[in-house]
């Protein structure tokens, strides 16, 4: 159970007074957030014994563009604030092209993720190498995912829900959920040291309604970060200018784009075709946005996350840290 938001704000204002900084008024009304449950709640000693250094976040997607598309603006915001951010693709993305061979696609996509990592300013873009469209949440994959999480010691992990459309997305979400509690079990997967303080796990956005819609526990205004997001996406030529337009039956749109070096035109193209989920979520969750941000306008694009009950239950300060507040 997180600390009450009112007492958190009181702590914050005490800090301001102690440091002599100009006092800023608290928000007009506190956002209404639900209470979260999580696997194996940490003791106060464990919470106090956090790893020193920058906040670390792992965005674990099934393919080498999932984290970029769905969470890229959040990642840019976090990196701006000094977080260490790692993107992960559990599969090699080898099925993501209509013309290149699978081996060639896997090779091209690996190179493109390296360039995307450079442009985003990531702490790494890891590809675990399971075959695209062939991932299963078995014991070996669970151990690999858990070992990687333990080695990086993230404060936050973000992954897919298990009701997403793609079998690899569902398997990836299942792997992270299955690892959630086991991360802290010392004799399981002894190749990497167990974590005393498990990470908070979030689900990235999807549009699916069965068994229920995504719950918008935290929302990030994506509008200020769209240009930098487009710069990162532009590194993955095989996806955003070849495969995805072909998969949508809209190859002519790429021809219409013409010169990619025209940055304004390129960004408008990427936002038009790739930020649809962010616009749809801004409409779908407008009421929740207003509730969580009293007095603020609803952005045009938002990135939305649901707290998973299979990680550590976040405190209010965890949520504010995730949001960069």
Q: Segment 216-245, which members bind Zn ion (CB under 5 A)?
A: none
**What's the min distance (Å) between Cβ of 218 and Zn ion?**
22
User: Would you say 41 and 69 are in contact if contact means Cβ atoms under 8 Å apart?
Assistant: no
| Identity of the residue, 62 or 200, whose beta carbon is nearer to Zn ion in the bound complex | 62
| Residue whose beta carbon is closest to Zn ion | 63
| Identity of the residue, 61 or 299, whose beta carbon is nearer to Zn ion in the bound complex | 61
| Identity of the residue, 83 or 241, whose beta carbon is nearer to Zn ion in the bound complex | 241
Q: Segment 54-93, which members bind Zn ion (CB under 5 A)?
A: 62-63, 66
**What's the min distance (Å) between Cβ of 165 and Zn ion?**
9
Total Cβ atoms within 10 A of residue 88: 26
Rounded-to-integer distance, Cα 12 and Cα 34, Å: 21
| Identity of the residue, 36 or 120, whose beta carbon is nearer to Zn ion in the bound complex | 120
**What's the min distance (Å) between Cβ of 235 and Zn ion?**
17
Q: How many residues bind Zn ion (CB under 5 A)?
A: 3
**What's the min distance (Å) between Cβ of 63 and Zn ion?**
4
Q: How far are the Cα atoms of 196, 205, 279, 293, 300 from residue 297, in angstroms, in the given order?
A: 40, 21, 14, 8, 9
What are 274's two structure tokens? 């790739």
Q: Is the dihedral of CA 308, 310, 314, 320 positive or negative?
A: negative
**What's the min distance (Å) between Cβ of 50 and Zn ion?**
32
**What's the min distance (Å) between Cβ of 166 and Zn ion?**
5
Site string for Zn ion, 13-52 (x = CB under 5 A): ----------------------------------------
User: Would you say 94 and 49 are in contact if contact means Cβ atoms under 8 Å apart?
Assistant: no
Rounded-to-integer distance, Cα 206 and Cα 170, Å: 12
Strands 156-159, 56-61: parallel, antiparallel or unpaired by DSSP? Answer: parallel
Site string for Zn ion, 291-320 (x = CB under 5 A): ------------------------------
Nearest-CA neighbor of 310 among 8, 114, 37?
Answer: 37
Strands 156-159, 218-221: parallel, antiparallel or unpaired by DSSP? Answer: unpaired
Binding residues for Zn ion, per CB under 5 A?
62-63, 66
């Amino acid at each position: 159970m997180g600390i009450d938001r009112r007492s958190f704000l009181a702590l914050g204002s005490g800090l301001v007074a102690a440091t002599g900084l100009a006092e800023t008024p608290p928000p007009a009304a506190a956002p209404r957030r639900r209470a979260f449950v999580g696997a194996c709640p940490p003791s106060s000693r464990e919470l106090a014994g956090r790893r020193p250094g920058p906040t670390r976040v792992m965005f674990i997607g099934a393919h080498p563009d999932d984290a970029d598309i769905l969470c890229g603006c959040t990642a840019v915001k976090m990196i701006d604030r000094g977080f260490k951010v790692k993107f992960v693709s559990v599969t090699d993305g080898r099925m993501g092209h209509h013309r290149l061979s699978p081996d060639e696609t896997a090779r091209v996509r690996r190179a493109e993720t390296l360039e995307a990592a450079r442009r985003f300013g990531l702490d790494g873009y890891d590809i675990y190498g399971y075959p695209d469209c062939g991932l299963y949440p078995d014991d070996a994959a669970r151990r690999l995912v858990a070992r990687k999480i333990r080695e990086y010691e993230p404060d936050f992990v973000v992954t897919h829900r298990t009701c997403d459309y793609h079998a690899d997305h569902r398997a990836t979400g299942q792997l992270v959920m299955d690892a959630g509690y086991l991360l802290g079990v010392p004799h399981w997967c002894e190749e990497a040291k167990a974590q005393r303080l498990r990470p908070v796990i979030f689900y990235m956005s999807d549009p699916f309604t069965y068994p229920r819609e995504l719950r918008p526990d935290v929302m990030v205004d994506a509008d200020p970060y769209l240009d930098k997001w487009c710069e990162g996406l532009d590194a993955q030529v095989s996806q955003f200018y070849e495969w995805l337009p072909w998969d949508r039956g809209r190859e002519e749109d790429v021809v219409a784009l013409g010169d990619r070096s025209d940055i304004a035109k390129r960004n408008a193209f990427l936002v038009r075709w790739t930020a649809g989920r962010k616009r749809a979520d801004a409409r779908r969750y407008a009421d929740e946005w207003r509730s969580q941000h009293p007095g603020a306008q609803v952005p045009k694009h938002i990135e939305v996350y649901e707290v998973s009950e299979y990680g550590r239950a976040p405190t209010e300060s965890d949520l504010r840290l995730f949001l960069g507040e």
